[in-house]
Structure 1
Amino acid sequence: MARATDYIRTEQRRFRRAKSGKAWQARELPQFYYLNNFKRFIADVHALNFDLLGRDALDFLTQFEALPHAAQCAYVRMANRRGYVFDTDKFRYDEIDDLPAQWSTLSQARFADPIGTPLFRDWLSSLPKPDLVLLMTDSMCETLFKKSWKKDRLINLANAHLDPAEAYIPERYIAQGRRDALQYMLFLYFGRIEDNLQAFTLRDLGLVRLPEAETQALSFETVEEARTAFFYAKALHDFRHGTDHDADRLVKATDTWPEPLCERSSAHQSKLIQKLGGWSERRGDAQSALELYTRSDTPFCNERVVRIRWSRDEADDRDWCKQRLETMIENPSSDSEAGFAEDFYARKFHKKRTSAATDLLRSATTLTLDEAFRNQPERAVLRYYKAKGIEAHRAENVPWRNLFGLLFWDLLHDGTTSPRRVPPKLRAGAFYTEYSPEIEARLAKLDNPSLILLDLLKTLALHYGEDNALVHWGSRSLDRIQALIVHAPRGGVAHLLRLMAQDWLGTKDGFPDLMLIDDGRVRFIEVKTAGDSLRRNQLTRLRQLSMAGFPVKIIKVAWAVDPDQPYVVVDVETTGGKPGLHRLTEIGAVKMIGGEVVDEFQTLLNPQRSIPPFITRITNITNDMVAGAPLFVEVAEQFRTFMGDAIFAAHNVNFDYGFISAEYEMIDQRFRHPKICTCASMRRLYPGYRSYSLKNLCQEFEIDLTSHHRALCDAQAAAELLKMINEKRMSNAQES
């Protein structure tokens, strides 16, 4: 397995270099590239989805082919731009002759539309803010608005108060016609909603890579099925990228929504109901939210229905909630629904005062760790266990998703959809139903770790680096999978993977932060700090892991100043200010434990480029001085050893840390340490000084700085500041 890990690490470096190489540099495009792209696109759609196109799309294709070349160019130019409404006076392209004639041709063929009531808001949005304000000033009472308002607010007001039939809309404004037909064909091609054709342009510029059409196309049985899926995908897109006006329009039209005809549209309908229900609740419209939630039978919607009806505090609602909760407990649709129902029922009908999540948090073990890790609590707990000699890994969702994706790779990526997207059958909950014999056969293999690891390694070697929505490529991921499979209780991993196969959306996240291997067993730790709550999916995952035989525990972290925590105070000198572009010329570092200096590190470095004269004037480091100095790669391991498990400290820490980590990245190594900034800490703990530069602080506190802008001297001075900072932190902690 070690040789396999080495192979994957090599592949990982190769893949990263290839991804960051020059193969995708932007390039100049031929004159009519956009029209050629469009014609290839509609030819692919016609060939791959002819049976799904329907009358509108087929009519679009036939009539577009009949347009003159210049009119085709004008329409595709419109489709490449943002929005649907355009000012033709600002629409100029040298390669298109006589644009006014093209607008006339497009209008006659319904590829360009006049601005009517449905597009009135789009027209308002297309106006520059000064023109919008002028329109409102001429048409409305000026006391209704202020010119300083943001444009979106002005658009909402104008749309509410102005009558499209009476508003003066200059003839030069036109709208892109046949939008629905084009967007529907883009949906069939990409498998998602696209507002325009910019994805093709970005591909041709070399800025993105698009899979082949065959791997993106969606699979539907009938036109009606495809159109229904398109309706719900577009509604979700409009909600996410639109305004409150768009959300309100969707809520008011719920009675006209089509009945879902496939797994994809069913999943999207449920998601849309959840989104619109939450939006209605945030607006204080509980009744609309309740009507929406009752249209879906998902665990989330069922929970919201119970909570809303209970909050109305009426006898009939209380009786209904009691019966509904009892039904959910007896026959839950998921573990999360069962957890909610049991918890809510116990608190409301058995007079239990706290939730299951609160009970778990109150029973958690508390660890007091150094507050320098305040922004990295999971990493702090990880270091704590490693220091005790326990094998510990960052976990969360990644190892579970990686194992799931690798174990079922060929079943998930069967060629019907792009690997970059989660398969619709997985999102819709149909994956287990469709492949249950194959899934159970592979889950049974988990009881033979050496056999299943060999299968996983073969899949990993065959597909490493491929874009996909499930597996996060990385050598350490294999280490975590191996540790999980080898040390898990019998049947435990299979139990969780089966749940993921049966209900991906309900089990894809919420896994605990850390995985420990202790006494030959794997156990999981969820890390929380003061004020953190235990989310519903996290509580459900802890329950599922416990039921599968995994020991689980919550650790609450309290912060203090650890006097024995080692720090390395670093200063670097460079050839300029941008990491990666400019290079290091010197590193100076001071290691401190308990406020005392225990070791020092200093070296000049050959930056492999000339040092600018103005830098030499600041640092007194010349090109001759670094000519014989070592390269960074030659001292990298020595400096890493010097750092050990210390906290990285510096004055304006992001500068020094950024350069050090960039140098390690150049040699395909990661440099990760918690960091503390002596400048920011001095501002917080010693307020009121005119300047917090290293030089001025040293003058204020009489700290020696005889060789300013030489790395070791500056590091020694910053170490004195760190000593003051930690003394102040410890004093404050004792007082509190």
Structure 2
Amino acid sequence: MAAPQLQLPPDYYLTHFRDLLAVLHSRYHSVLLPQHLQLIETFQQLPITAQRQWVRLLNRKGLVFALKDVEYVEVPDQAAAVAKLLQAGLLDKPSSDEDLADWLQRANKEHLLALVELASGAANPALPLLKKSSTKPQIQQYIEQHQLLTPASIQLWSEQHGELVALRAQTELQYLYFLYFGRFETSLTAFTLRDLGILPGSGFKQEFQARYTDRDQALAAFAYARLKPELQSLQQGWKSLDLLAQEAALRQWQQQMLEWPEPLDERTRLQREALCTALGRLTEKLLTHASADVALVDDAHRQRAALTQLAIGFYQQSASYPASERLLRLYYANRSDPQMAEALQQQLQQMLENPSCDDELWFARDFASRKLQQKPTSDLTDFLRSAATITLDELYLGQTERGAVHFYRQQGYQAFHAENELWLSLFGLLLWQPLFESEQSAIYNEFERRPRDLSSGEFYRRQQPLIEQQLALLADPAVAVKQLLKTYSAQFQKANAVFSWHPDLATMLPLLVHGAPAGVLAKIIRQMTQDFRRCSSGFPDLLLARESAAGTPEIQLVELKAVGDSLRRNQLTRLMSLRELGFAVSLMQVQWWQSPDRVYVVIDVETTGGKAENDRITDIAAYKVQYGDIIDEFSSLVNPQRRIPYFIQKLTGITNDMVASAPLFSEIAAKLTEFIGDSIFVAHNVNFDYGFVRAELGRCGYPLQLPKFCTVVQMRRAYPGLASYSLGKLAQQFDIPLHNHHRAAADARATVELLKLIQAKTVVGVVEPEAMADEVLEAHR
């Protein structure tokens, strides 16, 4: 049965648009230009049916629409409404390059072929033949290559296939959206998502101030907001361009930069820097490819030099990291040029004496020692070489942090996968009021879940007294913890875009506050308020805690690196900074082993269907296995409280009569949970059985989170090349008894034999737990 469709109230879209205009007119009147005020007035003077038609079009994707596709019940006379919109200049016939590109992108294959037929016949009958079997992208390419899409051809198509209209006043409308949302938007989808419950309002504030009160500041910010999607479009299509087209595009951006407005606020300045840095990186990509293509121009050396200067020019427009790093590397690569060598020294001195952030300072120090003082290895290499090794059970492959937490808890630690979330939560809970509730909080509408000035230093500058008042609480850990837990209780699970509600947060926060070196947390949080963009990430994976002799927690921070992982620059910076601040910080390299002491629970279930969220278990069997021997077993039929489909009865032999007197799953859940314990969950196609058992236990209030071992996957690895890896075929292949296939006990017992076969093929490396513990503890001393 199909879900009932949501019935939207009459004039739903129109009401939202009118509300938006009312907010803009009252709150942002001072930053509106005459054309924006004219747009609002023009719309308000339209008949209501014309308003409805235009607003419905605004909430659809695209610019060009066939009128027959946009008919609405609330617009009974579409022709009259469209006539009014054409007269008001809010609609027009498709004619601009943007209109044509939009139609070409969104037209279906049938419409494209119709255009080709009309345009080729009228313009050039000698055009090469286009096969009707061509794909849509091939037809689009054909139309572009032969320039078949013109205002005249689209008008001809419109006359024969249905009238087309194009939206107008889009730049003015986008500015209005920008003032309200603070970012580049093309529709009011957020309101619809709110009303559907998908994107509920934040609920932080009821009264909002204007995002901008200075018109020039607002216009400059809007100009850079519009540039971002343009650059993203270039980045997405970069590989499809040849080298000459790539250079031409970058030269065009270079010329456009001359017309960019001066940023008048910190957020806009950072947006400009990000654009320039991205353009520099694209230029370096081109430089790399052009250097390999000596036939690109007659003088390849001159071409490389020109592209190098182009990249440098982009980076010089950004005063901070990471553009500063790219500049330094380019100067160093071209240091044979005296001017480049001089620029190298000046840039390095600037980064060492006045760094824009810790990342820049650590990079500059490392660069100076390696490149200029001939230090043989980098700080990163030295740090990696200093790492000890932690050996984890290979069942945690892909779940490294979870495996490490389990290991450290076995050694007597309180251990948590904390990463950035712990520090973000400390930041968010300590500064909840200035972030979300104060009058100065830069939250400007109901959809924003974090202050808009958080990415710049404006957050700290605007609310310094209140922020410092909160930071002072950290001087007394007991007072700070009391306040943090009070805020935690009051705001628990309130959605925000600063931190998420970690399940162990209420336990981790007191450990961190009491165990941190004196005065250090206030310094870290202050740095986050001043440069949240750079200082809110890169924190170590794990928080470890043990009680000291004095009864206070001793904490350690651990970063894990498994095979294939890389240590990013911001992670290295954070680890070294935390170590300098007095934290016990370790980098642990992870290696894998297989423990011979593992306890496995091999499980099979039979069910009423294939979906764990809807269907139920009818039969379950479990065997506990250690050292290859079955040491315990559990089995039961289960009353699914619904009829078993006939075809499943035929498959399994389990009938409705057989389960009628069987226990409900809720009646065996406690015993099954105790039986499973913390074993390894084994099954043939493990996600199926695990999903059903977890769903059934979850309904009874028993969470299930265990390592999984799939005998299908492991048999493929241990015995590759077999014709089939189904349980029945494998049982035949390896002479495993399977007398009652598709009953849980029989299938689980056969799966036990598969587990033995897999273990026989697996090389087991044994590391004594005591040796591992000594190694880890030594690394922390």
Question: Which residue, 315, 330, 333 being the options, matches 1:311?
Answer: 333
Q: How far did 1:204 drift?
A: 4.1
**Residues 370 and 565 in structure 1, CA contact (< 8 A), matched pair in contact too:** no
**Counterpart in the other structure of 2:630:** 597
**Counterpart in the other structure of 1:513:** 541
**Counterpart in the other structure of 1:639:** 672
Instruction: Give secondary structure in 1 for the equivalent of 2:349.
Output: helix
Q: How far did 1:546 drift?
A: 0.6
Instruction: Give secondary structure in 2 for the equivalent of 1:275.
Output: helix
Instruction: Give secondary structure in 2 for the equivalent of 1:603.
Output: strand
**Counterpart in the other structure of 1:613:** 646
**Residues 712 and 726 in structure 2, CA contact (< 8 A), matched pair in contact too:** yes
- Distance, in Å, in 2 between the alignment partners of 1:430 and 1:577 is 54
Question: Which residue, 294, 312, 321 being the options, matches 2:316?
Answer: 294
Match runs of 1:515-534 below 5 Å: 515-518=543-546, 519=548, 520-534=553-567
Q: Determine if the alignment matches structure 1 residue 717 to structure 2 residue 708.
A: no
Instruction: Give secondary structure in 1 for the equivalent of 2:313.
Output: helix
Tell me: CA distance 1:341–1:667, structure 2 relative to 1, closer, same or farther (3 Å).
farther
Q: How far did 1:199 drift?
A: 3.0
**Residues 202 and 496 in structure 2, CA contact (< 8 A), matched pair in contact too:** no
- Distance, in Å, in 2 between the alignment partners of 1:359 and 1:160 is 55
**Residues 419 and 467 in structure 1, CA contact (< 8 A), matched pair in contact too:** no
- Distance, in Å, in 2 between the alignment partners of 1:690 and 1:43 is 69
Report which stretch shifted further, 134-143 or 55-64. 134-143
1:469-522: CA deviation from partner (whole Å, max 9, x where unpaired) = 113124411111122112222223223222212210001111111111134311
Equivalent AA in structure 2 for residue 694 of structure 1: L
Report which stretch shifted further, 438-447 or 505-514. 438-447
Question: Which residue, 34, 43, 46 being the options, matches 1:67?
Answer: 46
- Distance, in Å, in 2 between the alignment partners of 1:729 and 1:223 is 70
Q: How far did 1:393 drift?
A: 0.6
Gaps of 5+ in 1: 1-23
Q: How far did 1:101 drift?
A: 3.9
Report which stretch shifted further, 587-596 or 450-459. 587-596
**Residues 496 and 545 in structure 1, CA contact (< 8 A), matched pair in contact too:** no
Count matched residues. Answer: 711
**Residues 585 and 607 in structure 1, CA contact (< 8 A), matched pair in contact too:** yes
Q: How far did 1:563 drift?
A: 2.0
Q: Determine if the alignment matches structure 1 residue 257 to structure 2 residue 260.
A: yes
Question: TM-score by structure 1 length?
Answer: 0.88
Q: Determine if the alignment matches structure 1 residue 278 to structure 2 residue 298.
A: no
1:3-29: CA deviation from partner (whole Å, max 9, x where unpaired) = xxxxxxxxxxxxxxxxxxxxx996212
Instruction: Give secondary structure in 2 for the equivalent of 1:553.
Output: strand
- Distance, in Å, in 2 between the alignment partners of 1:218 and 1:670 is 47
Question: TM-score by structure 2 length?
Answer: 0.84
**Counterpart in the other structure of 2:296:** none
Tell me: CA distance 1:206–1:143, structure 2 relative to 1, closer, same or farther (3 Å).
same
**Residues 229 and 265 in structure 1, CA contact (< 8 A), matched pair in contact too:** yes
Q: Determine if the alignment matches structure 1 residue 678 to structure 2 residue 657.
A: no
Q: Determine if the alignment matches structure 1 residue 393 to structure 2 residue 385.
A: no
- Distance, in Å, in 2 between the alignment partners of 1:460 and 1:149 is 60
Q: How far did 1:371 drift?
A: 2.0
Tell me: CA distance 1:83–1:277, structure 2 relative to 1, closer, same or farther (3 Å).
farther
Instruction: Give secondary structure in 1 for the equivalent of 2:737.
Output: coil
Tell me: CA distance 1:621–1:125, structure 2 relative to 1, closer, same or farther (3 Å).
same
Tell me: CA distance 1:167–1:329, structure 2 relative to 1, closer, same or farther (3 Å).
farther
**Counterpart in the other structure of 1:17:** none
Equivalent AA in structure 2 for residue 198 of structure 1: T
Q: How far did 1:143 drift?
A: 7.6
Bigger RCO of structures 1 and 2 (CA < 8 A, at least 6 apart) = 1
**Residues 179 and 212 in structure 2, CA contact (< 8 A), matched pair in contact too:** no
Q: Determine if the alignment matches structure 1 residue 52 to structure 2 residue 31.
A: yes
- Distance, in Å, in 1 between the alignment partners of 2:447 and 2:435 is 8
**Residues 574 and 584 in structure 1, CA contact (< 8 A), matched pair in contact too:** yes
Gaps of 5+ in 2: 239-248, 288-306, 768-781
**Residues 596 and 766 in structure 2, CA contact (< 8 A), matched pair in contact too:** no
**Counterpart in the other structure of 2:452:** 424
Match runs of 1:659-670 below 5 Å: 659-670=692-703
Tell me: CA distance 1:733–1:394, structure 2 relative to 1, closer, same or farther (3 Å).
closer
Match runs of 1:57-456 below 5 Å: 57-114=36-93, 115-132=95-112, 138=120, 162=147, 168-170=153-155, 172-210=163-201, 218-240=210-232, 244=236, 252-284=255-287, 287-312=309-334, 314-315=336-337, 316-413=339-436, 414=438, 416-417=442-443, 418=446, 420-456=448-484
- Distance, in Å, in 2 between the alignment partners of 1:359 and 1:231 is 45
1:653-682: CA deviation from partner (whole Å, max 9, x where unpaired) = 111111122224334553222212111221
Equivalent AA in structure 2 for residue 228 of structure 1: A
- Distance, in Å, in 1 between the alignment partners of 2:265 and 2:429 is 27
**Residues 202 and 495 in structure 2, CA contact (< 8 A), matched pair in contact too:** no
- Distance, in Å, in 1 between the alignment partners of 2:353 and 2:412 is 45
Tell me: CA distance 1:163–1:132, structure 2 relative to 1, closer, same or farther (3 Å).
closer
Q: How far did 1:165 drift?
A: 6.2
Tell me: CA distance 1:156–1:487, structure 2 relative to 1, closer, same or farther (3 Å).
farther
- Distance, in Å, in 2 between the alignment partners of 1:496 and 1:41 is 40
Question: Which residue, 659, 683, 689 being the options, matches 1:656?
Answer: 689
Tell me: CA distance 1:214–1:240, structure 2 relative to 1, closer, same or farther (3 Å).
farther
Q: How far did 1:82 drift?
A: 0.1
Tell me: CA distance 1:100–1:446, structure 2 relative to 1, closer, same or farther (3 Å).
same
- Distance, in Å, in 1 between the alignment partners of 2:493 and 2:152 is 56
Report which stretch shifted further, 525-534 or 616-625. 616-625
Q: How far did 1:404 drift?
A: 0.5
Equivalent AA in structure 1 for residue 470 of structure 2: R
Tell me: CA distance 1:205–1:56, structure 2 relative to 1, closer, same or farther (3 Å).
same
Q: How far did 1:142 drift?
A: 7.0
Instruction: Give secondary structure in 2 for the equivalent of 1:425.
Output: coil
Match runs of 1:541-560 below 5 Å: 541-560=574-593
Report which stretch shifted further, 161-170 or 73-82. 161-170
For the aligned residues, what is the CA RMSD? Answer: 3.2
Q: Determine if the alignment matches structure 1 residue 578 to structure 2 residue 611.
A: yes
**Counterpart in the other structure of 1:707:** 740
**Counterpart in the other structure of 1:463:** 491
Tell me: CA distance 1:253–1:70, structure 2 relative to 1, closer, same or farther (3 Å).
same
**Residues 25 and 206 in structure 1, CA contact (< 8 A), matched pair in contact too:** no
1:272-300: CA deviation from partner (whole Å, max 9, x where unpaired) = 33334334444446554432221111211
Q: Determine if the alignment matches structure 1 residue 35 to structure 2 residue 14.
A: yes
Q: How far did 1:238 drift?
A: 4.2
**Counterpart in the other structure of 2:772:** none
Equivalent AA in structure 1 for residue 333 of structure 2: S
- Distance, in Å, in 2 between the alignment partners of 1:311 and 1:369 is 42
Report which stretch shifted further, 724-733 or 209-218. 209-218
**Residues 446 and 485 in structure 1, CA contact (< 8 A), matched pair in contact too:** yes
Instruction: Give secondary structure in 1 for the equivalent of 2:153.
Output: coil
The share of aligned pairs that are identical, in percent, is 40
Instruction: Give secondary structure in 1 for the equivalent of 2:347.
Output: helix
- Distance, in Å, in 1 between the alignment partners of 2:695 and 2:657 is 24
**Residues 335 and 344 in structure 2, CA contact (< 8 A), matched pair in contact too:** no
